[in-house]
Amino acid sequence: MKTSFAISGGTVGSPNEGAPHVYVRVVTDVGVEGWGEARPSHRWSCETLETVTSTIAGYLKPALLGAEVSDLQTIHGLMNKEIKPDLSGGQPIAKAAVDMALHDAIGRERGCRLPELWFAGFRPELKLSYLISTASPEEAGRMASDAAAKGYRGLDVKLGLRPDADLDLLEAVKAAAPNLFLRADANQAYNLQQAAKLARAMERIGVDVFEQPLRADDLHGHAQLRRKTDIPIALDESIWTTGNLMQAIRAEACDTVVVKVTKMGGLTGARRCGELAREAGLGLLGGGLTESRLALAASAHLFRYLRIEDPVDLNGPLFLADDPVASGPRIDEGDVVLPDRPGIGCEISAEKLELYGCRSNV
């Protein structure tokens, strides 16, 4: 990490402690490989570096060895038989890394770029949002004007780091960058009364979307909040699976759904959630968990496929000093150009994996 990243639940990565990224390599019987990535954070969800690696090495790998790589239906059945889905899919971040690696391998084996596996065209360009994670309104304002000067089109502001400063934070950001799309993410920091009060202030300030204000399991509260404000409510931590999404639709708990490949158990689950949300008339926002350029590229391909509007919150490049991707997306501040190669399109450097302390023999 080149800079620290905090959300309302705590620090999710820092230059001193780094941040966990797990890389999975699958090899098919004809020697084609595929790579996937998991980025757990125990401040954001219940999976950790240890649970992801032990689940993959001790449970998913033995269950999948010998399975037909391109039969993802069967593979997800085998993974879910081994690690039973709970309300959040049953260790979706671990399963996502495997699902991503298999998509990469299938694409490489067939000579298809990722979206072509979904009978969709390759769309290489996308724009990233700029993420502001600070409790200081002055610093937030400086970051917002800096982002605007660099050509970013949208800001994602993390709330709840110091709840009493949130309004000042949003006002400073809006004053510094009045024309940028403004997404305010509370990461479950509030109760209904606090969220309703803040939402009314957001209407005055001109916030575009209020993300995950209440606890993940409080769909009823989010539905009540929607009746108290005109600010669109987005759900992120509440929606991991199509089952969660259907409950949210029935409860009328949100206007918008945050699609993330890793929380939704991989490209398979995230694509299904994105399509279902679209069919239900909900808006879509694209997000990530500060993954490296491997999962960034996989997510970007899916967001193009789902026609998610830019800018998307794939903020890894803002926070990571380096990654083990030897060749992958070209990133210049908020502008990304995806690699024109089969699969996800990234090559992984064994030297870099070794350098950053990862081991391939688990």
- C-alpha to C-alpha distance for 231 and 255, rounded to whole angstroms: 9
* Count of residues near Mg ion by CB under 5 A: 2
d(CA 271, CA 275): 6
Q: Residue 236 CB, nearest distance to Mg ion (Å)?
A: 4
**In terms of CB distance, is 47 or 185 closer to Mg ion?**
185
Q: Which range touches Mg ion (CB under 5 A), out of 65-73, 121-129, 169-177, 180-188?
A: 180-188
Among residue numbers 100 through 119, which ones bind Mg ion (CB under 5 A)?
A: none
Nearer to Mg ion, 24 or 198 (CB): 198
Per-position x/- string for 227-266, each x denoting binding to Mg ion as judged by CB under 5 A, each - no binding? ---------x------------------------------
Span near Mg ion by CB under 5 A; candidates 102-110, 172-180, 181-189, 245-253: 181-189
Nearer to Mg ion, 153 or 260 (CB): 260
Q: Which one, 87 or 350, has the nearer CB to Mg ion?
A: 87
Written as six digits, the tokens of 114 are 């990722």
**Should residue 156 be labelled a site residue for Mg ion when binding is judged by CB under 5 A?**
no
DSSP 65: T
Q: For the CB of residue 156, give the shortest distance to Mg ion in the complex, in Å.
A: 8
Smallest separation, CB 212 to Mg ion (Å): 5
Q: Is 260 exposed, middle or buried (0-12, 13-18, 19+ CB in 10 A)?
A: buried
Considering the complex, state which of residue 82 and residue 313 has its C-beta at the smaller distance from Mg ion: 313
Q: How far is the CB of 185 from Mg ion (least distance, A)?
A: 4
The tokens of 57 are what? 């090495």
Alpha-helical segments (H) within the chain: 49-55, 61-64, 72-82, 92-110, 137-149, 166-176, 192-205, 219-228, 242-251, 267-279, 293-305, 316-319, 350-355
Of all residues in this chain, which one has the CB nearest to Mg ion in the complex? 236
Q: How far is residue 201 from each of residues 92, 168, 169, 196, 206, measured CA to CA in Å?
A: 35, 11, 12, 9, 9
Residue among 218 and 236 whose Cβ is closer to Mg ion:
236
Instruction: State the minimum distance, in angstroms, from the CB of residue 113 to Mg ion.
Output: 28
Closest distance between Mg ion and the C-beta of residue 160, in Å? 11
Q: Give the Cα-Cα-Cα angle 248, 254, 257 (nearest 5 degrees).
A: 85
Report d(CA 2, CA 352) in Å as an integer. Answer: 16
Taking the least distance from each CB to Mg ion, the nearer of 99 and 236 is: 236
37 binds Mg ion (CB under 5 A): no
Cβ closest to Mg ion, residue 56 vs residue 186: 186
Within 10 angstroms of residue 14's Cβ, the number of other Cβ atoms is 14
Q: For residues 95 and 19, give the distance between their C-alpha atoms in angstroms, rounded to a whole number.
A: 19
Q: Report the nearest approach of Mg ion to the CB of residue 158 (Å).
A: 9
CA dist., res. 280 & res. 273, Å (int) = 10
Q: Which stretch binds Mg ion (CB under 5 A): 79-87, 177-185, 201-209, 298-306?
A: 177-185
Cα–Cα distances in Å, from 291 out to 44, 180, 315, 321? 14, 24, 8, 12
Query: Please, what is the minimum distance in Å from the beta carbon of residue 288 to Mg ion?
Result: 10
Selection from 217, 156, 160, 158 nearest residue 194 by Cα: 160
Asked if 185 is part of the footprint of Mg ion (rule: CB under 5 A), the reply reads yes
Q: Which stretch binds Mg ion (CB under 5 A): 178-186, 248-256, 271-279, 323-331?
A: 178-186
Q: Which residues of 315-326 are buried (b: 16+ CB within 10 A; e: fewer)?
A: bbbbbbeebbbe
Structure tokens at 247: 């409950």
| 223 HSE (CA, 13 A, CB side) | 11
Task: Considering the complex, state which of residue 104 and residue 236 has its C-beta at the smaller distance from Mg ion.
Answer: 236
Q: How far is the CB of 287 from Mg ion (least distance, A)?
A: 6
Q: For Mg ion, which stretch binds (CB under 5 A), given 34-42, 110-118, 183-191, 317-325? A: 183-191
Interface with Mg ion (CB under 5 A) = 185, 236
